[in-house]
Structure 1
């Protein structure tokens, strides 16, 4: 597997451990993280601090046991890695759980993550929030 594959795999492993520093260790200074339209935290966040505050911090605050679990990593060979997986967790405000499929597209250049884009069924996720 490529270096890009290993970097993305390490990100998910750090997330599973709850290791925020490990999750962002390979983020480029100008990493662009895009949560798709319709997702509760939709938008593009640029830079580690913006991603921590706008995405990761909110997920921890709003969801109990939130996980982004990759079932498969597909190495594009050009610094692109695609993850097929699922989200799961319980929305704290409603007590409702969810399990929703996702596709994540990662961009890695010179050993650093430069981009991330999320695709998921936002309707299913929002059902847990209602």
Structure 2
């Protein structure tokens, strides 16, 4: 859980993309819903960086505020509220989000967000 919370602090509290990436294993992966403009499976720091930059280009602000953390073996589940503001039109979207993170030896092997409402993001991006 320490690794997940520290990685969130890097990207969400400090806006430190490189600090966030430093928590990933060399073959770490980020999976985003295929329906989103930044969707897909991204493996390795360069691919993850590119996906996150594309996401950040879509939004002028984004946040994830976990209310609950749960752990099981090498997995951490964070559940809370995801909020974004669309850069092109100022529309705001907020909905539940769960992120399943697989951590091995203190390094992130996988982050897989489970969005409460991807359709809301797509509608806001119009």
Q: Same fold (TM over 0.5)?
A: yes
SS at match of 1:82: strand
Q: Kindly report which structure 2 residues correspond to 1:1-130, keeping only aligned pairs within 5 A, or say none.
A: 5-15=1-11, 16-54=13-51, 56-76=52-72, 78-120=73-115, 121-130=117-126
What's the TM-score, normalizing by structure 1?
A: 0.88
Q: Distance in 2 between matches of 1:69 and 1:14?
A: 13
Deviates more, 1:43-52 or 1:16-25: 16-25
Q: Distance in 2 between matches of 1:117 and 1:35?
A: 7
- Tell me the C-alpha RMSD between the 2 structures: 1.2
Q: Distance in 2 between matches of 1:58 and 1:113?
A: 21
Q: Distance in 1 between matches of 2:95 and 2:9?
A: 19
Q: Distance in 1 between matches of 2:82 and 2:18?
A: 21
Structure 1 spans left out of the alignment, 5+ residues: none
Q: CA deviation at 1:40?
A: 2.5
Q: CA deviation at 1:128?
A: 1.2
Structure 2 spans left out of the alignment, 5+ residues: none
Aligned length: 124
Q: Distance in 1 between matches of 2:24 and 2:85?
A: 28
Q: Distance in 2 between matches of 1:24 and 1:85?
A: 22
What's the TM-score, normalizing by structure 2?
A: 0.91
